[in-house]
């Protein structure tokens, strides 16, 4: 039990001397209460010891005689010759004092404002927080403060400034780590909430119902937030600089809303700025909002851009874009050591990172860390190309031309589509640096600059005639020209299977054939692999989207399910995979489905077994007849008592049919066989062989070398006859005056022919 020590003066013997002696010998225990002034009391916080010159107390108001107006707390109060040092405020120290207008500590050793210390002090308009490290729960709740500038505070408790209806500005310093739940909740007139770098945790409902708050900055260092951060506030601009905010852009459980939603779910919202790497995540978060009016997140690099000095590692410059920026400071990644630029405005950092600090509208301090990626050095050997489907309708490279350090492509007519920039180190390089749009939608701004980066999405452009100018040092693409607004023809689609399924390695096209709106192909004895469907708009001469499997939960290719209809997709998709075998693959563009059915293998056909037949006539007037040849060791032979005057060779596959020839073999040119020898043959030949070998003749055909060997003779010695004169011989080679009945040989103009009479 606490006891109250009252020093009563006893005007007895020795008067004042006796009183002084009694006071000096009194001892104060923890919990004793002393009247420091008529309006202030002190509660002893530790027992008095002989070696301590003063008694430590916590101070609070006299509940029966509360202080009014402006009061000053002294560091030491002397009561009856005893010094009492003020070390702290008591809990509820000045709670419900509606007449207190200001308080000054005057070097009192107070570093903490305890719970409810100034609760409901409705006339307390200003408070000097210099030296204060902690502000406890409900410390200034429902007070009359108009601003709270707390540059020395480390921790702010729950509801510390809640319901402060006159509070218009709150600022914490870089030493503050935690702001408790609803610390400034329901402060309807709060216009400025300045949260500096260093803050790590913000509690629930912290800035809820801040109906006058225009801008809100979530510092880079924040790693923990809770729900309803700015719920039901009137925030217009939000700056999200914390990389950890990515964790709050998705619901924790199905059916819930993301924790970070309240930061952007405002009907008053006009702009959302965030780190480059968070643009897509924040845009996803915005899809959960019914009040954000379709606003898209933008990168904070639109305010200040870091441009690497190409080819010099760790060197970069700062480019200002927005006129609302009033100063820019650069620090090392530790956030404490300042970096200074040289005379050319170039900064140098040894760890490849830097922190940017700048203010927008003189109020909002934006501080975040950037990585300096120097990329490819700019050199005379460097080569830049555009790569896309806007030139020919299919994805291919298109050269740019160097002009004074920039790369241009002038007055080129393009199709609607997508493209990116490739930077090659030199003309021999095959590994480019890819530059894409930093904007989430990738839409090109015609008539201005378009920022690029190594991470992003493809640029998208409408058909028209443009000049493209690319700066390889800044990754800025300038596009000027005219958009073609004439409507495109209705697309007419064709589809082609594309994959490495035939041999598992080389990617190639496989033709799909259309029947009743279905596009299909039969693939036999494939090795298996991956594939998708290429689409092409023949009406606009332009490649369409890549069609493949719906990704779903898959991390890689989706294996086809034989015999089942599978959903196809043109976005959020991955390739199909298929095993070895024979299949019919059918794509249905109307239903956007794919079905794969197995083709049962047929009995293998027997190996062909070729035989050869000579077809010819033995006299000029004779009948054409077939003469089978005898095969032996790959050679085919026929011997006749009387040789052909005209003939050719037929080839048959007897495992198939002896009624239909597989090849007809003839001479490639006009050839007259007048003596034995070797003659070329060909399946492409168009000329029959003619011969004057009339006696017994042997024909030998080699199909492998396509050679015909003829062994025989005319039986006629060299004969001379006048030009145009015909002479005749019998089959024994004896000259006769005129043809005889049967077969004779006629020699005319140096050529011999068998004739029949």
CA atoms within 13 A on the CB side of 133: 5
Cα(376)–Cα(382) distance, rounded to whole angstroms? 9
Domain residue spans of the chain: 1-110, 308-371, 383-483, 493-598, 610-711, 726-756
Of the pLDDT bands very low, low, confident and very high (cuts 50, 70, 90), residue 11 is: very low
Q: For 584-598, what is the mean pLDDT?
A: 95
* Cβ–Cβ under 8 Å, residues 716 and 734: no
**pLDDT attached to residue 714:** 66
**pLDDT attached to residue 629:** 95
Question: Which fold, 383-483?
Answer: Immunoglobulin-like (2.60.40)
Cα(76)–Cα(57) distance, rounded to whole angstroms? 10
8: tokens are 């009563």
Which residues partner with 459 through β-bridges?
Answer: 419
* Cβ–Cβ under 8 Å, residues 90 and 59: yes
704 Cβ contact list (under 8 Å, min separation 6):
634
**pLDDT attached to residue 685:** 92
The per-residue pLDDT of the chain, averaged, comes to 88
397: pLDDT strictly greater than 90:
yes
371: pLDDT strictly greater than 90:
no
**pLDDT attached to residue 580:** 92
User: What is the sign of the dihedral through the CA atoms of 739, 740, 743 and 745?
Assistant: negative
Q: Report percent pLDDT > 90 for the chain.
A: 62
Cα(493)–Cα(490) distance, rounded to whole angstroms? 10
**pLDDT attached to residue 281:** 94
**pLDDT attached to residue 103:** 92
Phi, psi of 378 (to 5 degrees): -80, 125
Of the pLDDT bands very low, low, confident and very high (cuts 50, 70, 90), residue 7 is: very low
| pLDDT, tens only, 312-348 | 778 888 888 777 787 889 999 888 899 999 988 889 9
Q: Report percent pLDDT > 70 for the chain.
A: 91
Cα(113)–Cα(92) distance, rounded to whole angstroms? 10
**pLDDT attached to residue 3:** 33
Of the pLDDT bands very low, low, confident and very high (cuts 50, 70, 90), residue 730 is: low
**pLDDT attached to residue 734:** 65
Phi, psi of 383 (to 5 degrees): -125, 135
**pLDDT attached to residue 91:** 95
Of the pLDDT bands very low, low, confident and very high (cuts 50, 70, 90), residue 375 is: low
Class of the 610-711 domain?
mainly beta
Given 3-state DSSP classes, what are the helix, strand and coil percentages for the chain, each rounded to the nearest 5?
5, 40, 55
**Number of C-beta neighbours around residue 485 at 10 A:** 8
**pLDDT attached to residue 195:** 92
Question: Which fold, 493-598?
Answer: Immunoglobulin-like (2.60.40)
The better pLDDT of the pair 695, 466 is held by 466
717: pLDDT strictly greater than 90:
no
**pLDDT attached to residue 315:** 87
| In 66-164, alpha helices (H) | none
Cα(523)–Cα(208) distance, rounded to whole angstroms? 64
**Nearest to 535, CA basis, from 549, 521, 519, 523:** 519
**pLDDT attached to residue 21:** 36
117: pLDDT strictly greater than 80:
yes
Three-state secondary structure call for residue 259: helix
**pLDDT attached to residue 292:** 84
**Nearest to 637, CA basis, from 645, 647, 628, 626:** 628
170: pLDDT strictly greater than 90:
yes
533: tokens are 């469907």
Query: For the chain, what is the total number of helices (H) and then of strands (E)?
Result: 2, 64
**Nearest to 231, CA basis, from 300, 165, 195, 185:** 185
**Nearest to 191, CA basis, from 217, 169, 165:** 169
Q: For 284-302, what is the mean pLDDT?
A: 89
CA atoms within 13 A on the CB side of 223: 4
**pLDDT attached to residue 221:** 93
Phi, psi of 311 (to 5 degrees): 90, -5
Which residues partner with 744 through β-bridges?
Answer: 755
**Nearest to 451, CA basis, from 662, 303, 349:** 303
| pLDDT, tens only, 150-159 | 999 999 999 9
Instruction: Name which of 388-392, 619-623, 740-744 the model is least confident about.
Output: 740-744
Of the pLDDT bands very low, low, confident and very high (cuts 50, 70, 90), residue 606 is: confident
What beta strand segments (E) does 372-429 contain?
383-388, 396-399, 401-403, 406-414, 417-424
439: pLDDT strictly greater than 50:
yes
4: pLDDT strictly greater than 60:
no
Three-state secondary structure call for residue 571: coil
* Cβ–Cβ under 8 Å, residues 588 and 517: yes
Instruction: Name which of 195-199, 665-669, 720-724 the model is least confident about.
Output: 720-724
What beta strand segments (E) does 303-416 contain?
304-308, 315-320, 325-331, 338-339, 346-348, 353-360, 364-371, 383-388, 396-399, 401-403, 406-414
Q: For 415-424, what is the mean pLDDT?
A: 94
* Cβ–Cβ under 8 Å, residues 576 and 558: yes
756: pLDDT strictly greater than 70:
no
Is-same-fold flag (383-483; 610-711)?
A: yes
């Amino acid at each position: 039990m606490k006891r109250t020590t009252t020093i009563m003066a006893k005007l007895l013997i020795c008067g004042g001397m006796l009183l002084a002696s009694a006071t000096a010998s009194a001892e104060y225990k923890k919990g004793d209460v002393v009247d420091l002034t008529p309006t202030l009391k002190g509660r002893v916080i530790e027992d008095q010891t002989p070696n301590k010159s003063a008694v430590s107390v916590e101070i609070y108001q006299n509940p029966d005689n509360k202080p009014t107006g402006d009061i000053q707390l002294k560091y030491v109060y002397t009561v009856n010759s005893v010094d009492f040092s003020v070390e702290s405020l008591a809990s509820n120290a000045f709670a419900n004092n509606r007449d207190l207008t200001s308080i000054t500590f005057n070097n009192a050793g107070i570093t903490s404002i305890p719970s409810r210390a100034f609760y409901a002090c409705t006339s307390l308009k200003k408070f000097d927080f210099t030296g204060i490290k902690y502000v406890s729960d409900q410390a200034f709740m429902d007070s009359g403060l108009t601003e709270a500038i707390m540059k020395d505070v480390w921790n702010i408790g729950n509801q510390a400034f809640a319901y402060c209806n006159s509070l218009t500005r709150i600022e914490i310093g870089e030493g503050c780590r935690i702001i408790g739940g609803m610390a400034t909740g329901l402060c309807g007139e709060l216009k400025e909430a300045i949260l500096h770098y260093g803050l790590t945790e913000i509690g629930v409902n912290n800035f809820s119902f801040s109906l006058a708050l225009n801008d809100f900055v979530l510092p880079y260092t924040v790693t923990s937030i809770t729900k309803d951060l700015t719920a039901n506030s009137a925030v217009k601009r939000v700056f999200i600089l914390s990389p950890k905010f990515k964790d709050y852009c998705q619901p924790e459980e199905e059916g819930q809303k993301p924790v970070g939603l309240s930061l952007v779910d405002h009907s008053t919202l006009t702009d959302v700025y965030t780190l480059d790497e968070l643009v897509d995540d924040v845009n996803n978060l915005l899809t959960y909002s019914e009040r954000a009016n379709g606003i898209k997140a933008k990168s904070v690099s639109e305010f200040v851009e870091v441009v690497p000095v190409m080819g010099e590692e760790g060197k970069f410059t700062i480019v200002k874009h927005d006129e609302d920026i009033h100063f820019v400071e650069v620090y090392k990644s530790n956030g404490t050591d300042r970096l200074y630029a040289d005379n050319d405005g170039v900064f140098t950092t040894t760890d490849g990172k830097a922190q940017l600090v700048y203010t927008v509208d003189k109020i909002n301090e934006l501080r975040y860390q950037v990585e300096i990626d120097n990329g490819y050095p700019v050199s005379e050997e460097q080569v830049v190309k555009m790569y896309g489907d806007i030139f020919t309708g299919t994805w291919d490279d298109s050269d740019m031309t160097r002009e004074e350090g920039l790369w241009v492509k002038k007055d080129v007519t393009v199709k609607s589509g997508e493209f990116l920039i490739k930077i090659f180190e030199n003309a021999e390089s095959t590994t480019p640096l890819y530059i894409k749009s930093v904007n989430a939608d990738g839409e090109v701004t015609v008539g201005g600059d378009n920022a690029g980066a190594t991470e992003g999405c493809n640029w998208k452009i409408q058909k028209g005639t443009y000049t493209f100018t690319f700066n390889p040092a800044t990754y800025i693409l300038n596009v000027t020209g005219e958009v073609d607004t004439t409507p495109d023809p209705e697309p007419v689609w064709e589809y082609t299977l594309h994959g490495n399924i035939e041999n598992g390695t080389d990617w190639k096209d496989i033709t799909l054939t259309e029947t009743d709106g279905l596009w299909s192909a039969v693939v036999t004895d494939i090795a298996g692999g991956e594939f998708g469907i290429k689409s092409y708009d023949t009406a606009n001469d332009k490649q369409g989207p890549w069609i493949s499997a719906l990704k779903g939960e898959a991390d890689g290719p989706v294996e086809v399910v034989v015999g089942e209809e599978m959903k196809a997709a043109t976005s959020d998709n991955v390739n199909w995979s298929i095993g070895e075998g024979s299949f019919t693959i059918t794509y249905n563009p109307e239903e956007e489905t794919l079905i794969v059915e197995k083709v049962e293998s047929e009995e293998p056909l027997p190996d062909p077994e070729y035989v050869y037949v000579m077809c010819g006539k033995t006299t000029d007037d004779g009948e054409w007849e077939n003469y089978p040849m005898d095969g032996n060791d790959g050679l085919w032979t026929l011997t006749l008592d009387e040789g052909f005057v005209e003939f050719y060779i037929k080839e048959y596959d007897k495992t198939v049919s002896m009624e239909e020839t597989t090849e007809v073999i003839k001479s490639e040119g006009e050839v007259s066989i007048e003596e034995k020898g070797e003659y070329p043959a060909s399946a492409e030949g168009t000329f029959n062989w003619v011969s004057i070998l009339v006696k017994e003749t042997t024909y030998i055909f080699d199909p492998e070398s396509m050679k015909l060997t003829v062994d025989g003779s005319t039986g006629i010695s060299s004969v001379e006859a006048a030009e145009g004169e015909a002479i005749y011989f019998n089959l024994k080679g004896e000259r006769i005056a005129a043809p005889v009945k049967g077969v004779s040989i006629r020699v005319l103009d140096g050529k011999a022919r068998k004739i029949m009479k």
